[in-house]
Chain A
Amino acid sequence: MLRQLTIGFLCCTPVLAGETSPPTDLINLVHQDCGSCHGLTLKGGLGPDIRPQSLSHYDVETLSTVVLDGIPETAMPPWRPLMSEADAKRVAEYLLQGELK
């Protein structure tokens, strides 16, 4: 477990506040890794549909908090150990708008 935490820490430290990963990396992460539960096309799997029309009741702030902290008592994990706050905000924007500028 120590090794996991160390690696997580190392991955996260280079990401300074306000600095974000390239859009292609974030989009890839959403489809490949969020997609393990929500489906490659995000229309749902073990986790719910997370296409823009299904998330319209969220704003960017709330949704990025869900990404960072997960939803307790469900299978949605907190991504904070792997993702900066700035990246989580970009992911939320992508999920709500369906594109990343």
Chain B
Amino acid sequence: MKGLKGVFLAIAISGAAISGVVQAETIVATGDLGLVVERASGSLLLVDQSERAVISRIEGLGDLSHASLVYSPDQRYAYVFGRDGGLTKVDITEKKIVNRVVQSGNAIGGAISDDGRLVAVSNYEPGGVRIFDADTLDPVADIPTGSKTIGLVDAPGRKFVFTLWDEGETWIADLSSGEPKVTKITDIGTNPYDALITGDGRLYITGLFGEDGLTAIDLWDPEPKPIRVLPEYGRGQKDLPVYKMPHLEGWARAGQEFVLPAVGHHQVLWIDADNLSETGRTDTYGQPVFAMSRPDGRQVWVNFAHPLNDTIQVIDTVSKDIVHEFKPGKAVLHMEFTPRGHEVWVSVRDAGKVMIYDTRTFEKRGEIDAESPSGIFFTSRAHRTGL
């Protein structure tokens, strides 16, 4: 928000020059801002990437454990999905909550439609997806699934895609003509735990907890079918206990490959983006939770499950080798890159800090205080499918 002082100055000058004219509205640019979830205290920190600083704390969002959020296309509003089923609309220019509904007993994330008009929330209890008007938060549609619902993403054409943990089905809800038209795809696999959609909106990839491998769906196919990916990646190895489910949201694509965390193994997996065959594995320090791609795809930053969650490893995507390893502190929960990837923000829950690193030199560039920080969400997500 470097330009802000300039804007104020311009307003002050023009105000003085044309006194008596209606005061111009203060312009607040939000393109380099972001929100940090403070999971235990139910608050958000509004942060400025360029200044590496906190602008404001916004309180009163309920239970924010495992909370996530999405942004409106104009990067003014954030829709925050709390674990307690709360859906909160925050105006980051006014630094305040503008609307809040408690839409279920137990929620697990959400998405915003490609046109920015609809916000969908994925629920564990009662299982299903509820869809709201992004402007008013009035209910628009309710899609009960009878199952814990995971991996909710937006897809092009005013669609939402999500998956059923208990039944192993993926549903595609098309809201392009008002009432949702739901297409159900069965036989996704046992206990799908999370899913992602590629940035082009074509592939929806589901991670499986109950069996090895992943399942892909080609959303460009008029009749999408489950495609098994790496069905034998853990074969011959004993699975380790899983103390934290990995996340697939931060999937990495480097040239022609995807990088994904393995479940129950100390590895990330490399997959050819065209034919979905395995192209390699990299052994890691622990069980990966996030494998996040720097926006240019040259590096993948990986954090790990309890009790090895004090460490980050950085993998070079050309050599597939680990090129850097360091310990920011206990309980590294999330990482978020600046839009062009020059810096990364890292939440370190037990240190009560968000640390900021240069991604080329790995030098620490700054830190901010935060109460039990978890997810970090920069406004540039507003313009990316699936985020």
Contacts and interface: CB of A to CB of B under 8 A. Distances in A.
A55 interface: no
Contacts of B84: 41
Interface string A29-43: 000110111011101
B100 interface: no
B108 interface: yes
A7 B63 contact: no
Nearest to B39: A40
A36 B244 CA distance: 6
A75 B306 contact: no
Given A4-B266, A75-B191, A40 B306 contact: no
Interface string B237-251: 100111111000000
Contact of A75 (B106, B242, B349): B242
A36 B106 CA distance: 14
A81 interface: yes
Interface in B45-102: 63, 65-66, 83-84
Contacts of A7: 307-308
A43 B66 CA distance: 13
A70 interface: yes
B125 to A, nearest CB: 7
Give the one of A33, A37, A45, A81 with max B CB within 10 A: A45
Contact of A36 (B124, B148, B150, B245): B245
A46 interface: yes
B286 A4 contact: yes
A86 interface: no
A41 B65 contact: yes
Contacts of B108: 45-46
A100 interface: no
Contacts of B191: 75
Given A40-B63, A44-B124, A46-B193, A32 B349 contact: yes
A36 B40 contact: no
A32 B307 CA distance: 12
Nearest to B304: A4
A60 interface: no
B285 interface: yes
Contacts of B258: none
A45 B66 contact: yes
Interface string A76-101: 01110110000000000000000000
Given A4-B266, A40-B83, A43-B106, A81 B245 contact: no
A57 interface: no
Contacts of A33: 243-244, 306
B124 A45 contact: yes
Given A39-B106, A75-B191, A82-B306, 9 more contacts: A11-B307, A36-B243, A37-B245, A40-B63, A41-B63, A75-B193, A75-B209, A75-B242, A77-B243
13 contacts: A1-B237, A3-B266, A4-B240, A7-B308, A36-B245, A36-B306, A39-B83, A39-B106, A40-B39, A41-B65, A46-B165, A77-B241, A79-B243
